[in-house]
Chains A and B, each alone.
Chain A
Amino acid sequence: QKEVEQNSGPLSVPEGAIASLNCTYSDRGSQSFFWYRQYSGKSPELIMSIYSNGDKEDGRFTAQLNKASQYVSLLIRDSQPSDSATYLCAVYSGGYQKVTFGTGTKLQVIP
């Protein structure tokens, strides 16, 4: 069983719509949660981090965390073609544990 699971997609949304990306994790002791964006052929870059239950907003991006249900999501409002990328969910479980990455969800924003 994978520790961090994401739907691989592709998730296709029209320009201007809300894109919703989901991630579930298995370790209940996980402390920190990250969303990275990776354009094709490029390296991942952090777009959101969230540490406590609830919502965290940054511009068009909102990260949502529900530790009881062990899921974290990323909402992208007013999606733009430039948002087309693979989005990686990453989870940190404390101590000397590594940050575990999901396999990513490919998002396609259709103009």
Chain B
Amino acid sequence: DAGITQSPRYKITETGRQVTLMCHQTWSHSYMFWYRQDLGHGLRLIYYSAAADITDKGEVPDGYVVSRSKTENFPLTLESATRSQTSVYFCASTGQGSNMNTEAFFGQGTRLTVV
């Protein structure tokens, strides 16, 4: 199916463990993003990618790592999970080639709980 999908939808992990959240899009969109959404903060950008092998930090990158070896995939890794990283994570992409100035399509979200 066409679209942008995230996995897993729900994840519980322990403090200190490494966790990887997956994001896959089928539109060949150039730009992809990872956001976290917390009460009182809204959506905050963690990392974004303009194309394969091009990534850059957003507003809250500490503790996270991304990679983009293929256009369609943009995994987010928490190197050593902390309780403050408990959040809902959204992956998004924008289309129309290299133009970032367009509608963003969001994945279903991953609810991550760090205990």
Contacts and interface: CB of A to CB of B under 8 A. Distances in A.
Interface of A: 31-32, 34, 36, 42-46, 49, 88, 90, 92, 94, 96, 98-99, 101-104
A103 B41 CA distance: 6
Chain B residues touching A, range: 20 to 34
Contacts of B42: 88, 101-104
B103 A46 contact: yes
B114 interface: no
Contacts of B44: 101
A92 B109 contact: no
Interface of B: 33, 35, 40-45, 48, 50, 56, 58-59, 90, 100-101, 103-109
A34 B105 CA distance: 12
Contacts of B41: 103
B68 to A, nearest CB: 15
Contacts of B108: 42-43
A98 B103 contact: no
A98 B92 CA distance: 12
A84 B14 CA distance: 35
Given A92-B101, A98-B58, A45 B48 contact: no
10 contacts: A32-B101, A36-B104, A43-B108, A44-B43, A45-B106, A88-B43, A98-B33, A98-B58, A101-B42, A101-B44
